[in-house]
């Protein structure tokens, strides 16, 4: 690093200088991998709903699934030890195969109220989702939006777009509408922040859940105790979220051409 320099600089000096400049070591931000088509459709979505204020977004019920591990480690533990202490018990972090198991949940909420948090056995498929729609989505939309002016949001997971599910929504189109959602855009869905909230609350519990039944109980308790201002503020953040998409660099001519090609290939496959 110091080749060609007239004065050597220690690593600690470099680190202190970077800290003074505000350049701290941070984890990479995780974001969905976007193709040219994804970027184009996200931008189109942000532009289409640019006139919506928080008033309009308060008529939307957001939904999603998420999976929670019983035991989780992110691999970021660091310790200082002698080379010979590699296998010393004090320097070993225990692991559990497959994280000790996991639970999938489905939930929904709007500015007006939290909906149900459902424990999903195994993974969600179109048949389980049909039951969720009939037993939870339909009653929620009827109660929270009695004027039939509610809007339901879901992503484009396969179980959400199955023919039987689309038919169910068509049968209830006079009661509420479904918001078209751009593919691969979980970052735009405010419910993702509620999943993060649940994870933080459960990880802070003492004692920790020791089995999947306790984890399910902990998640349900954390969901029921989400502060009202937390989910209301998330709903009111939609205009700013879409403004950020619009203000980000839009598709370049190269991306536009790539998107056209991808769209053409998709049409040929269909």
pLDDT band at residue 203, thresholds of 50, 70 and 90? Answer: very high
Under 8 Å CB-to-CB from 47, ≥6 apart: which residues?
246
Q: Is 133 helix (H, G, I), strand (E, B) or coil?
A: helix
CB 166 within 8 A of CB 193: no
For 11-54, write each residue's pLDDT tens digit. 778 777 777 887 766 555 555 567 888 888 999 999 999 999 99
**What is the pLDDT at residue 72?**
65
Task: Compute the distance between CA of residue 222 and CA of residue 200 in angstroms, rounded to an integer.
Answer: 10
201 vs 78 pLDDT, higher one = 201
258 vs 171 pLDDT, higher one = 171
Q: Which of 77, 141, 118 is closest to 220 using CA atoms?
A: 118
**What is the pLDDT at residue 37?**
86
Q: How far apart are the first and last CA of the chain?
A: 54
Give yes or no for a cis peptide into 247 (omega within 30° of 0).
no
Query: How many Cα neighbours within 13 Å face the side chain of 54?
Result: 10
Under 8 Å CB-to-CB from 45, ≥6 apart: which residues?
180, 181, 182, 185, 188, 242, 245
Burial class of residue 82, CB neighbours in 10 A (0-12, 13-18, 19+): exposed
Question: Which residues pair with residue 68 across a beta bridge?
Answer: 103
Least confident of 80-84, 144-148, 189-193: 80-84
Average pLDDT over residues 247-254: 58
213 vs 89 pLDDT, higher one = 213
For 142-160, write each residue's pLDDT tens digit. 999 999 999 999 999 999 9
Under 8 Å CB-to-CB from 99, ≥6 apart: which residues?
69, 70, 71, 72
**What is the pLDDT at residue 22?**
74
Tokens in use for 206? 């003492």
Superfamily designation of domain 58-69+98-236: Ribonuclease H-like superfamily/Ribonuclease H (3.30.420.10)
Q: What residue spans define the domains of the chain? A: 58-69+98-236
Q: Which of 241, 239, 196, 247 is closest to 58 using CA atoms?
A: 239
Task: Compute the distance between CA of residue 134 and CA of residue 221 in angstroms, rounded to an integer.
Answer: 24
85 vs 133 pLDDT, higher one = 133
Rg for the chain, CA atoms, rounded: 23
Q: Is the confidence at residue 108, as pLDDT, over 60? A: yes
pLDDT band at residue 77, thresholds of 50, 70 and 90? Answer: very low
Question: Which residues pair with residue 103 across a beta bridge?
Answer: 68
Task: Compute the distance between CA of residue 124 and CA of residue 117 in angstroms, rounded to an integer.
Answer: 14
Q: Is the confidence at residue 94, as pLDDT, over 50? A: no
Under 8 Å CB-to-CB from 44, ≥6 apart: which residues?
182
Least confident of 38-47, 77-86, 110-119, 153-162: 77-86
Q: Which of 44, 28, 17 is closest to 246 using CA atoms?
A: 44
């Amino acid at each position: 690093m110091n080749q060609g320099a007239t004065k050597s600089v220690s690593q600690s000096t470099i680190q202190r200088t970077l800290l003074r400049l505000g350049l701290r070591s941070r984890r990479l931000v995780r974001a969905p991998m976007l193709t040219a088509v994804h970027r184009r459709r996200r931008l189109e979505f942000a532009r289409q709903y640019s006139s919506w204020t928080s008033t309009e977004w308060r008529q939307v019920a957001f939904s999603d699934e998420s999976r929670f591990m019983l035991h989780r480690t992110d691999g970021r533990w660091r310790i200082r030890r002698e080379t010979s202490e590699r296998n010393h018990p004090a320097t070993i972090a225990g692991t559990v195969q497959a994280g000790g198991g996991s639970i999938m949940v489905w939930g929904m909420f709007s500015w007006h109220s939290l909906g149900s948090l459902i424990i999903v056995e195994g993974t969600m498929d179109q048949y389980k989702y049909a039951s969720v729609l009939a037993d939870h989505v339909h009653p929620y939309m009827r109660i929270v939006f009695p004027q039939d002016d509610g809007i339901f949001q879901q992503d484009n997971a396969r179980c959400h777009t199955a023919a039987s599910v689309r038919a169910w929504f068509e049968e209830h189109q006079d009661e509420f509408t479904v918001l078209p959602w751009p593919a691969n855009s979980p970052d735009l869905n405010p419910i993702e922040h509620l999943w993060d909230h649940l994870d933080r609350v459960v990880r802070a519990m003492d004692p920790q859940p020791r089995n999947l039944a306790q984890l399910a109980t902990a998640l349900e308790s954390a969901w029921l105790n989400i502060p009202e201002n937390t989910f209301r503020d998330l709903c009111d953040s939609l205009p700013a979220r879409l403004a950020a998409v619009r203000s980000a660099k839009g598709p370049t001519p190269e991306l536009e051409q790539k998107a056209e090609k991808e769209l053409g290939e998709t049409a040929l496959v269909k």
